[in-house]
Chains A and B, each alone.
Chain A
Amino acid sequence: MVSTTSTGARSAFEYAPAPESRAIVDIKPSYGLFVNGDFVDGHGRSFKTISPSTEEVLAEVAEADEADVDNAVKAARRAHSRVWGRMPGKERAKYLFRIARIIQERGRELAVLESIDNGKPIKETRDVDVPIAAAHFFYYAGWADKLEYAGYGTESLGVAGQVIPWNFPLLMLAWKIAPALACGNTVVLKPAETTPLTALLFAEICQQADLPAGVVNIITGAGETGRTLVSHPDVDKVAFTGSTEVGRAIAKAVAGTEKRVTLELGGKAANIVFDDAPLDQAVEGIVNGIFFNQGHVCCAGSRLLVQESVADDVLARLKRRMATLRVGDPLDKNTDVGAINSAEQLAKIRELSEIGEQEGAERWSAPCELPDHGFWFAPTIFTGVTQAHRIAREEIFGPVLSVLTFRTPAEAIEKANNTPYGLSAGVWTDKGSRILKMANALRAGVVWANTFNKFDPASPFGGYKESGYGREGGRHGLAAYLKGRSLR
């Protein structure tokens, strides 16, 4: 993507546009709800989903009302008690393997559709979202007939109500549905209102896999639909990924019930760079940590903590690297940074960035031309940030990095942990014993050492403190969907 000459001067190549064809996807003018194995009309209103890179209306989608939610929960309950909850694990497994295979077979279609509906680069949907989603189904398929060895019993909970965000629509669906089904639960899943299309395509995949009716139900809608789902009295388990604010509301809504809950919420991760780190690798890690997926990542490395002695060097390299990031058409295979997911999110990023300037931090944005239509925000860093600044405390959920410095490891630990969140953290150093010391001291559920933003179905993911509770992925991810006791 970029070449660096021996003198260190940058010379970015000119790239001809390399757009991925949209021809592979067939977006219908309108979509109903997927309930009990069929697409049905909703009783409520409908809403439009748009492409955030062009503001083009893609489709009309039904907004599930209370009756729709109730129908979906009833279908899931019936499927649990009559079919899925009784099916031997080895048979459930084969359905999940089928789904994994179909996701792979239709991977190109899913990748293009996700890119159009979400605004993220095709490079990322093709290489990250879709393959890891398939891998999740493969991974949990294999657990379905081996639960007795996992340590949480073998009894399913029943009906899971799952609400997912817009930043990784298909991948979050896979994180939710694969372990739930492997453990014998049935699900009602609500995708985010700005990104419903890959979930609706997944519903078709369930049909192609001949998954029994009612095992997976997809209901579209916004916050009200989500509230109705998690509060439904016949839902046994609530799984949510999204903001800490909504997570709190869910924790209150389920108080006094028997519902089990897992919450994967916000973050404000510290990415800590020591002076002995391989700086070019660290800069790649910083860029990946905050600009991957437009910074719409709950575990994004949104606070750079750089050791004072190398701060100037790191910042110079970082700015040089940021200037080569290609921002633009998500379907262009050369694009590194795509569109902000919605006008609402863009407004929030702009507001917090303006507050950053008002509070005295210095703003620098990569020089790049932004398209005329759609929602865009140039990759941006703030220097001179203190711990009291709102841009150092609040989750911006966009391509905005706050840079702070430290002198000693103890100061780095203190600053890194000075947040109500605790989802992830990064450490860059060549010293092994320091990595292990830092990894121990950081109060976060995932610590990436000399790497960042790595995900794998075998690796548990989830936060400390106000980043939520429970883990998704790995053997630990089974605990959320089996009766053998764990958290809730």
Chain B
Amino acid sequence: MTRVDVRKTYKLFIGGEFPRSESGHSYVVNDVRGRFVANAALSSRKDARDAVAAARKAFPGWAGRTAYNRGQVVYRVAEVMEDRRPQFVEAVRQGEGRTAAAAGKVLDESIDRLVWYAGWADKLTQVVGNANPVAGPFFNLSTPEPTGVVAVLAPQESSLLGLVSVVAPVIISGNTVVVTSSVQRPLPAVTFAEVLATSDVPAGVVNILTGSLDRTAATLASHMDVNAIDLTGLAGDPEQATALEVEAAANLKRVRRTPGTEPDWSAEPGLDRMTDVLETKTVWHPIGV
């Protein structure tokens, strides 16, 4: 008699734990050919609010770590991901319909991207900060600080490289994040959550919601304790993106607008995904004896 394999339940990742949706709802995830792969959790508004609360709770501790330490933690994520290559390759093949070689390349780029951003942790302040020569006897220094809790709608097509490329630049400077995964291809995001949970990322720094954006996106955009929102995952849906940008004005969230089409995630990222979620703080002090 052949052995029956043990299937995995794909759940949410909130505050370092893996809850089901509090609503009890799930949805069917198929591979690109339409074959059943798994049931994933269908996040509710309440799940989104719980995730924001977890992210807010984690923010002071994560922002308060040294930049060197945050860089090490994100580098550790890359290490653990490398260790779990086969699982990710399989997930990307299933979801994105790629060959094993192409899926392997996606994984290479995802891991390399984490390493790239890890290195930025203790350099960003030097590159975007400034000493300011004011006309008077004052010490005057501008430094970047994380804006706080950031909501990210991750891209729909690129379920792993895209996800890593929108999450890493947000957390590297000390922000915490609530990210909605690709709706149709959520499984790499859940597997990524399992990597985060085992690589020294403090609970609540990254929170991952799966399922339709119908409930979660508006909740995040209008949430008064979210400081910024990235609408990348709405590429090709300008109407929805505009509606969310209007919601985001309630507490003047920083908004990264949606691109017309999903970007080429293989391209060199540049600084803007990091600088979009930074504040500049300028400190003055008199000089005297």
Contacts and interface: CB of A to CB of B under 8 A. Distances in A.
Interface of A: 135, 151, 244, 247-249, 251-252, 255-256, 263, 265, 420, 435, 439, 444-451, 454, 456, 458-462, 464-466, 468-469, 471, 474-476, 485-488
B147, B257, B282, B286: residue with the most chain A Cβ atoms closer than 10 Å: B282
A247 B250 CA distance: 10
B66 interface: no
B285 A435 contact: yes
Nearest to A131: B135
B138 A451 contact: yes
| B-side interface mostly | mixed
Interface residues of B, number: 39
28 contacts: A151-B127, A244-B252, A249-B249, A256-B238, A420-B251, A435-B285, A439-B283, A445-B279, A446-B282, A446-B284, A447-B284, A450-B286, A456-B132, A456-B136, A458-B132, A458-B133, A458-B140, A459-B140, A459-B284, A460-B132, A461-B282, A464-B279, A465-B227, A466-B252, A468-B252, A485-B270, A486-B272, A487-B254
B252 A475 contact: no
Nearest to A432: B285
Interface in B263-285: 270-272, 275-276, 279-285
Interface of B: 127-128, 130, 132-136, 138, 140, 142, 147, 227, 238, 241-242, 245-246, 248-252, 254-255, 257, 270-272, 275-276, 279-286
A251 B249 contact: yes
A459 B252 contact: no
A357 to B, nearest CB: 30
Nearest to B252: A466
Given A448-B284, A485-B270, A247 B252 contact: yes
B248 A251 contact: yes
Contact of A486 (B132, B276, B281): B276
A450 B90 CA distance: 59
Nearest 8 CB-CB pairings of A with B: A256-B242, A251-B249, A255-B245, A456-B134, A485-B272, A449-B285, A458-B132, A252-B249
Nearest to B270: A485
A256 B234 CA distance: 12
A443 to B, nearest CB: 8
A458 B284 CA distance: 12
Contacts of B281: 439, 444-447, 464
Contact of A475 (B130, B250, B255, B283): B130
A271 to B, nearest CB: 13
A487 B132 contact: no
Residue from the set B227, B252, B276, B280 with the largest chain A CB neighbour count within 10 Å: B252
Contacts of B136: 454, 456
A420 B250 CA distance: 11
Nearest to B258: A256
B142 A459 contact: yes
Contacts of A475: 130
Contacts of B138: 451, 454, 456
B142 A460 contact: yes
Contacts of A461: 282
A163 B284 CA distance: 28
